[in-house]
A and B are shown apart, each in its own frame.
Chain A
């Protein structure tokens, strides 16, 4: 398994000598070992041609593209080799049956809330928020419809983000969660972090046979890979938020790392680089897996989550959301 590569420089990427070259505006060239690539994330203004796309498709590498503000725009996915009609049928079956759909959707919410509470436990004066999330979790298990479930999830998330004010120091605070566009630095950080989680999860889903458009908690609609939103729920508080806390509280990221405009706020390039460095480190951190009895990275955990879901869908093993035990 290779590493993700994050390209910020403007210029060109191309195929040369059976590997990938990036050439920046000043004409500096750098070779990236193709066997070391897992995915390529493009943030800069980059030119590329079909020769490169063909090569990447051959090597089965994914390219994610982000817009000027760092928001996920789309991906180049090589021809799908892992297609399984049967699994897709099963995925749809579980979506159509309200009871079965609810089971999976609730599992995602449960995993998400578990990790939210787990994050808050690390900090003092967050007891009241933890309690709120716990009550919502209890409410969620009583609900009958996905809509009510989403409501509980939303209220829990509100409480969770309120707790950020107690956790974050150094002049960072959040009044309420705002997206499209994010209005202040904390919102910008959360948005950027979430978009990274979505694309990471999507890359992992893509390595399995799952169909990323059929989801359970989020309504599967057109024009989005909603299954990656579903699975990301579990991993946002586990992977992204601790990175945010670390960056802010250790004064690694400052208010200068954000560009503010009228009612919107985005991270600039240095900010994004700082975030990605920590995020990447987090993803490669390994823990000893209790069942597999070997060290696995956080990124692999996401992949394993996909496998667990597949097992559930084909009726092999009941799905239980991942819960960090350490």
Chain B
């Protein structure tokens, strides 16, 4: 398990496909930013799905991983758009 922050920059005609894939695995936090806990296997699966749709010449997706959830602290200025908790 690792905690990941994913950001992406994708051409307009593909961006929605990428967003939809990422949405299955991570919680949406901001435009072009997702984050969440994920297992290694699921991450692989997610990356494979992404590879199918992106154009490797133009698009980029960054994965920032934190080995441990406890090593991460998030502070927000302004509006917190989305909460990542599981009690809704």
**Known contacts being A1-B39, A3-B37, A17-B20, is A33 close to B88, with CB within 8 Å?**
no
Alpha-carbon distance A7/B88, docked complex (angstroms)? 5
Query: In angstroms, how far is the closest chain B Cβ from the Cβ of A16?
Result: 9
Residue numbers in A under 8 Å from B27 (CB-CB): 31-33, 36
Query: In angstroms, how far is the closest chain B Cβ from the Cβ of A211?
Result: 29
Alpha-carbon distance A111/B24, docked complex (angstroms)? 39
Query: In angstroms, how far is the closest chain A Cβ from the Cβ of B44?
Result: 12
Residue numbers in A under 8 Å from B23 (CB-CB): 17-19, 31, 33
Tell me whether A176 is interfacial, beta carbon within 8 Å. Answer: no
Alpha-carbon distance A109/B83, docked complex (angstroms)? 41
**Known contacts being A18-B20, A35-B42, is A280 close to B88, with CB within 8 Å?**
no
Binding site for A on B (CB under 8 A): 20, 23-28, 36-39, 42, 46, 82, 86-88
Contact residues of A between 147 and 200, Cβ < 8 Å to B: none
Instruction: Tell me whether B24 and A280 are in contact (CB under 8 A).
Output: no
Instruction: Tell me whether A36 and B20 are in contact (CB under 8 A).
Output: no
Instruction: Tell me whether A22 and B88 are in contact (CB under 8 A).
Output: yes
Q: How many A-B residue pairs have CB under 8 A?
A: 53
Query: In angstroms, how far is the closest chain A Cβ from the Cβ of B31?
Result: 14
Residue numbers in B under 8 Å from A119 (CB-CB): none
Contact residues of A between 24 and 66, Cβ < 8 Å to B: 30-36
Q: Can you name 28 A-B residue pairings with CB atoms under 8 Å?
A: A3-B37, A5-B86, A5-B87, A5-B88, A7-B88, A8-B87, A8-B88, A17-B20, A18-B20, A18-B23, A18-B24, A19-B20, A30-B88, A31-B27, A31-B28, A32-B88, A33-B25, A35-B24, A35-B25, A35-B38, A35-B42, A35-B46, A36-B36, A36-B38, A273-B87, A277-B87, A280-B86, A280-B87
Instruction: Tell me whether B88 and A6 are in contact (CB under 8 A).
Output: yes
Chain A: interface secondary structure?
Answer: mixed
- Residue of chain B at shortest CB distance from A35: B25
Top 6 closest pairs, chain A to chain B, by CB: A6-B87, A35-B25, A5-B86, A17-B20, A3-B86, A19-B24
Tell me whether A77 is interfacial, beta carbon within 8 Å. Answer: no
Residue numbers in A under 8 Å from B86 (CB-CB): 3-6, 280
Alpha-carbon distance A304/B26, docked complex (angstroms)? 28
Tell me whether A9 is interfacial, beta carbon within 8 Å. Answer: yes
Alpha-carbon distance A17/B23, docked complex (angstroms)? 8
Query: In angstroms, how far is the closest chain B Cβ from the Cβ of A42?
Result: 10
- Residue of chain A at shortest CB distance from B85: A277
Query: In angstroms, how far is the closest chain A Cβ from the Cβ of B80?
Result: 13
Tell me whether A276 is interfacial, beta carbon within 8 Å. Answer: yes
Query: In angstroms, how far is the closest chain B Cβ from the Cβ of A58?
Result: 13
Known: A1-B39, A7-B88, A8-B88. 19 other contacts (CB 8 A): A4-B86, A5-B88, A18-B20, A18-B23, A18-B24, A19-B23, A19-B24, A31-B23, A31-B28, A33-B23, A33-B25, A33-B27, A35-B38, A36-B27, A36-B36, A36-B37, A36-B38, A277-B87, A280-B87
- Residue of chain B at shortest CB distance from A3: B86
Alpha-carbon distance A32/B38, docked complex (angstroms)? 14
Alpha-carbon distance A141/B88, docked complex (angstroms)? 45
Instruction: Tell me whether B36 and A9 are in contact (CB under 8 A).
Output: no
Query: In angstroms, how far is the closest chain A Cβ from the Cβ of B88?
Result: 5
- Residue of chain B at shortest CB distance from A276: B87
Query: In angstroms, how far is the closest chain B Cβ from the Cβ of A4?
Result: 7
Alpha-carbon distance A17/B27, docked complex (angstroms)? 14
Alpha-carbon distance A5/B86, docked complex (angstroms)? 5
Alpha-carbon distance A136/B24, docked complex (angstroms)? 51
**Known contacts being A18-B20, A35-B25, is A30 close to B87, with CB within 8 Å?**
no
Query: In angstroms, how far is the closest chain A Cβ from the Cβ of B8?
Result: 15
Alpha-carbon distance A45/B51, docked complex (angstroms)? 40
